[in-house]
Amino acid sequence: MATEDPCAVEFEAERGRMFGVAYRMVGTASDAEDIVQEAYLRWQRADRGRIREPAAWLAKVVVNLALTHLASARIRRERYVGAWLPEPLLTPDPRLGPAEAAEQRESLALGVLIVLERLTPPERAVYVLREALAYSHREIADVLEITEEYSRQLLRRAREHMRDSSDKTRMNTPEANTRVVVERFVDALRNGDAGTLELLLSKDVTSTADGGGKVAAARRPVMGRSKVLRYLLGLRVHPKAAGVEQMDVVELNGQPGVLVIGTSGSAISVVVPRVNGNQIHEVLLIVNPDKLAHLDRETMR
């Protein structure tokens, strides 16, 4: 029997935590996987005899790779066709690291990941390490090579930006209630029940779609109850709707969402209604096939 490579064993012990950091930093699973793979290659080449704390060393590598990625991603997203939304993940996902605390689960929500896009890369790194992985400011300072005081300043700024970006980013709606609203939304959409949909949508609801220029989708947010209602009902009777096999309520990024499966058995869209109280204040639609391929791989396992 072949002996396990100690290098790989040590790395695997931290893989979930590293993927969780990378995904929260860059917003896409495929890029997060690339970052983790590059971290592994660097781990293999490193003189591990000189590495006193492997977890801290790997965290520093992953964060630095993510920061480099964000610098180039900002340019790419300026050229992106339509709205850019994070890539959804089915949860729970063991690769995402710890998710027991409310802050850890919240940091995965698509709405939070969208707001994180508006932070500076250093603010984003501090926020992710502190809120998602409960790193101390001393540990964050070591990873980012900054002072503890500057780490605290960056966290304060990040939290202020998160609060200012949207009063609705953080919801206190119980998870069970959210699921009930999402299930009612799906049933109404299936049946073309305009009355129920109208009741579920808040007056100032918005709908944002990410087609990436590869699938026809609204390139700008649709705003207001009447417009979003017409938009959703229009999607239901769109010619491509004939290719819908089923719509399942699943847990996406720690919150109830809708996975739309086509007749081919593959995911053709993800719909994430963001719920506040008993109404939906935002509908996120992801139809870019590049951002759905990962879901297909996960559901086929």
CA dist 297 and 3 (Å) reads 29
**Which pair of tokens denotes residue 199?**
């009741």
Q: What is the pLDDT of residue 294?
A: 86
Q: What is the pLDDT of residue 171?
A: 53
Q: Is 8 strand, coil or helix?
A: helix
The beta-carbon contacts of 144-153 under 8 Å, at least 24 apart in sequence, are: 144/60, 144/63, 146/122, 151/126
- Domain residue spans of the chain: 6-165, 175-299
Cβ(96)–Cβ(19) below 8 Å: yes
CA dist 258 and 180 (Å) reads 12
| pLDDT at position 10 over 70 | yes
CA dist 59 and 96 (Å) reads 14
Express each pLDDT in 230-271 by its tens digit.
Answer: 999 998 877 677 678 899 999 999 899 999 999 888 999 999
169 band by pLDDT with thresholds 50, 70 and 90: very low
Cβ(18)–Cβ(36) below 8 Å: yes
- CATH 3.65.10.10: does it fit domain 175-299? no
90 DSSP assignment: B
Query: Over the chain, what is the mean pLDDT?
Result: 87
CA-based Rg of the chain, rounded to a whole angstrom? Answer: 20
Before 92, cis peptide (omega within 30)?
Answer: yes
Summarize the confidence of residues 35-63 as an average pLDDT.
90
CA dist 143 and 137 (Å) reads 10
pTM, to two decimals: 0.87
Express each pLDDT in 184-240 by its tens digit.
Answer: 999 999 999 999 999 999 999 999 999 999 888 889 999 999 999 999 999 887 767
- Angle CA 102–22–103, to nearest 5: 10
